[in-house]
Structure 1
Amino acid sequence: MNGSSLRSLPSAAPTGPPSLLRDRNFVLLSWARTVSVLGNGFARVALSFAVLGLPGTTPGELSLVLACQALPQLLFVLVGGVIADRVPRVRLLAAAELTGAAAYAGLAAMTLTGHAPVAALAGLATVAGLATALFAPAMTAVVPEIVPAGRLTEANAVLRMGMNTAMLLGLALSGVVVSLVGAGWALAINALSFLAGAGLIAGIRIRTPRPPRTGGGSGWSDMRDGWREFASRQWLWVVVLQYTFVVAAVSAETGVLGPLMSGHGPGGARAWSTVVAAQAVGTIAGAALAARLRPRRPMLVAVLATFPAAAPMLLLGLHAPLWQTVAAAFLAGVSGDVFGVLWATTLQREVPAAALSRVSSYDWFGSLAFAPVGLYAAGPLAAAAGADVALLACADVVVLATAAALLAPGVRRLGAGRGGG
């Protein structure tokens, strides 16, 4: 939720303190994320073209390499949460960035030299996935170590604006770079971006130490303690369960059904690219909007903001004109980042700092759990019933899961002086 989640938020924008952009630690973190995400935009395109460009490589081998990158993010994110609650998080972020840099440097070198056994590519892709599993839970928890509690919403919004802009720019430039100089050099750019990110993060100095972690048990006991923190908050586990289904539906739409539906239409790939670009631009606008929001009931607003995610699926399934689908995709991007900022801020305010990375890891794990199912089921469902019917089914999943989340009192009542139960 990829997501990433209150006591009552301030009812007015904070006044008095200097801009976050004058805070050295926050500026370093913001630039580190922007630079790394820019590089990742290159990697999303370059890795596939790098593998397919090798002599004799099959689509099945490409699937293997991509699966080796994706699965560790799901399987080891809980371990990443335990580690991030045990060690200084800034150091872990820097180490994860260096690990990613090494993995992509190796992938770039093999691609450029042409000596790239599939087993070696899969191994390095696994290392890259492990780096993400270590990074994600620590990133959620390091923000409140740097930013005052009253400015978390603003900080999360600024971070997301930078990352969304960088991803959009990276995706736009990646095809140009791959076509001009090759996928190997694009992967090398990603490795350099991770290296730069590690250097920027290494410059962060935490002024207020994190509260000491209680207990000194094993990793398993730490994981169980994290689960108790997670399960004790109704609003938290309900929304993660909601997004288990929402992310599966969105993955099916963006990964399979949207391209399939657009490919059979008059606009083809260009039409689908327009839809994707509109949603990406919407995420930037959504983060800017979220920076100004101070809802009394943040989870209620965040869950309501999920409904527009169904609109592009519905319009694609109904064969609506392209401009309507593009407008709906933009709206979905706006509302998606409103959810993301409110969710991250709520997590950071409501969950004790000593357990925040472990709780965040359960958020990541739950939200991504069904994403592979959505991807794998989309193709057979489209073949059996048609891509339009499958898209309408995805829209139903988003609407039903979101409506069910609104039934939970903890979701509706969190904030406005109430507890987080």
Structure 2
Amino acid sequence: MGTLIKNGHLVDVEGDRDGLFDIFIDNEGRVEKVGEKGSLDCYAKENVVIIDAAGKYVLPGFIDLHVHFREPGGEYKETVKTGSMAAARGGYTTVVTMPNTKPVMDTVEHLNLQLEAIKKDAVINVLPSGTVTMGQEGKVLSDIEGMKKAGIVAISEDGKSVMDAEILKKGLIEAARLDIPFFDHCEDAGLVNGGVMNAGNKALELGMAGITNEVEDSIARRDIAIAEEVGATIHLCHCSTRDTVKFVKEAKEKGLPVSAEVCPHHFTLTDEDIIEDDANFKMNPPLRSRADVEALKEGLKSGVMGMISTDHAPHSKEEKEKSIKNAPFGIVGLETAFAITVTELLGKYLDIKTLVERMSLTPAKLLKNGRGTLNEGAVADLVIADIEEEYVIDPEKFVSKGKNTPFGGKKVRGKVLYTLCNGKIVFKEEN
């Protein structure tokens, strides 16, 4: 039994296709044939699932390099099962989980706890990362080689930075030796000073301690330099400042293996959008200024900032009902990212092919997993979406356990209708 997707507008940058095509997916979950509209009717047999995608876009499945599924240790916020289901609803077929769980992913023993949950419950491809240091304490390197053999695809200290430059250098040397990227959370702990939102007029107005751009910029500058010295691949996570865009541009111009991601909240909202003490607007790094947002958008347009990720960070309702001063950092994003990107960027900063690059192909290339394309022979990870359908974001409809979003009530366009992972339907929108 296979699946035939008919009449859809296929956009596949790697396959150089942008038009009306039919796709047949075989029993093994791979793309067996791609042909012009109407040319694959010979596959429409009795035991074949047929999906009519007329008027819709067919895109390679989205890849998110930055999610928090909280398992093990924080299952009341999210699990691999609920997180992966939320990802599927958002059009994601591959995600990379951050390692700041409880316990953290610093040994093979700890990693196996997450791998077992992934094997048991994940409905999409869930790929773990491991910490740089034991316990994320910044003192002793984790068992990076052991975890690489067990299945991690990257190392990261996400949630904080490795503040000891010498320890970071050792970790980057190990990452380079093992040919895995370093996912960099850029935050100088010594400059935070209890900050909870962007340093600026709005923080003063709300009586909140501010976080300056230099908190991010200083570590981004340092870590790019160390990575260059040792020849490591470095990927800057959840970038929020105009100077980080500049640093990444300069690194790419030098030919360094440096990449960067931007989250939808950082290219959509500014600190001026925080009109009251609402912790659904609290994330790390914080919402920045209009100048920073514009730089991020231009960076995505030019390709300097090559990827869109979510930093999906679910928390309980009780945690997020606290003041910004006391609530945890983080918002959810998997179920809103595509719509926010379509609404804010499509036609203004990105065309549909560039959107596919930012959300699918470029992250696939960093992971070297052969996905991000719907060429014949490729794994059938794909999304069928209506980029014109308008609706209002309702957090109560989220599959994620986390409802913590600043986008509740926002009118958007762009809805995922189907998500197929490894050729299987893992999400279907029920009208």
TM-score by length of 1: 0.26
Bigger RCO (CA 8 Å, 6+ sep): 1
| Structure with the higher strand share, 1 or 2 | 2
| Structure with the higher helix share, 1 or 2 | 1
TM-score by length of 2: 0.25
